[in-house]
Structure 1
Amino acid sequence: MAEWGFRVWDENRKDINTGFVRILALGTVQLSQNQVSGAWSFTVPAGFVLDYLSQSTAAAGTTTRRRFRVSGSTVSISDAGSSYAADTEPAGSSNVIFYLRKT
C-alpha cells in the first residue's frame, strides 16, 4: 500500500477506507447518439463483479433513453422508452468503461 493519500481507521485501528475502490478495467466502448442496443461479454473470475461507468460526450440533448443491464459476465443496453428509472440514462453519445471490482 502506498505511503501517501487518504486513509481512515476505526477505534480498533482497522483500516476502513472506502473512499477509493480498486478496479480492474476490462475495456471501453463509444456509444453513438441515440444508440439503444448492444452487448459486451467479459471473463469474470470468482470473487469479482462486472460493472460499468458511462460518461456523456454529447454536445446536444436527447429525449431517447437507454437501459444498462449487467447479468453475470455480460453488459447490455436496450431502449428504455420514457423510463427515468435508476438503471436508465439519456442515450446521447458517450464513452463507457467496463471494469471488475471485488465483491
Structure 2
Amino acid sequence: MAWGFQTWDAKGKPNNYGLVPVTVVGQFAVALDQVTGSATYSVPAGHVLDYIHSPRAFFPTTKRRIITIRGGTVTLSQGGDTSYGIGSESAQAAMIVVYVRKA
C-alpha cells in the first residue's frame, strides 16, 4: 500500500522528490565568532557542493559568517551584524558539513 503525498506542476509532471540522496565529502569545525576560513573538495562532473551549518552550542553573539561555494571551494567571510538570508549564518561554534549533490 502506498502512502504519503504527491504534488504536480502545471503540466501534470510530479515535482515532489521527497528525500534527496547526497554524499558527504567532508566536514570542518568553526569556532565561536570565527568568520574566515576555507576548504577545498573534489566535485564530480554534473554535481555541486552544498553545506549544512550545524551549531555545537549557542552563545550570545552578533557576529555572522557568510558561507559561499564556488566550484570545489567553501569560503567563510564576515557578514554584517544584520546580514540574514541564504548563506548567512550566526557565528556560533559549529560543524560545517559539506556534501555533493546532482546539479
Fold shared per TM-score above 0.5: yes
**Match for residue 81 of structure 1?**
80
Structure 2: give runs of 5+ residues left out of the alignment: none
**Match for residue 48 of structure 2?**
49
* SS across alignment from 1:18: coil
Instruction: For 1:88 and 1:19, locate their aligned partners in 2 and report how far apart those are by CA, in whole Å.
Output: 25
Q: CA deviation at 1:39?
A: 0.5
Contact 1:29-1:95 within 8 A present in 2 as well: yes
TM-score (norm 1): 0.81
**Match for residue 22 of structure 1?**
21
Identity %: 32
**Match for residue 99 of structure 1?**
99
Q: CA deviation at 1:18?
A: 1.3
When residues 22 and 5 of structure 1 are mapped into structure 2, their CA distance, relative to the original with a 3 A threshold, is farther
Matches within 5 A, 1:56-75: 56-75=55-74
Contact 1:31-1:96 within 8 A present in 2 as well: yes
Q: Which runs of 4+ in 1 moved over 2 A?
A: 4-10, 14-17
Alignment: residue pair count = 101
Two-structure CA RMSD over aligned residues (Å): 2.6
Q: CA deviation at 1:8?
A: 4.6
TM-score (norm 2): 0.81
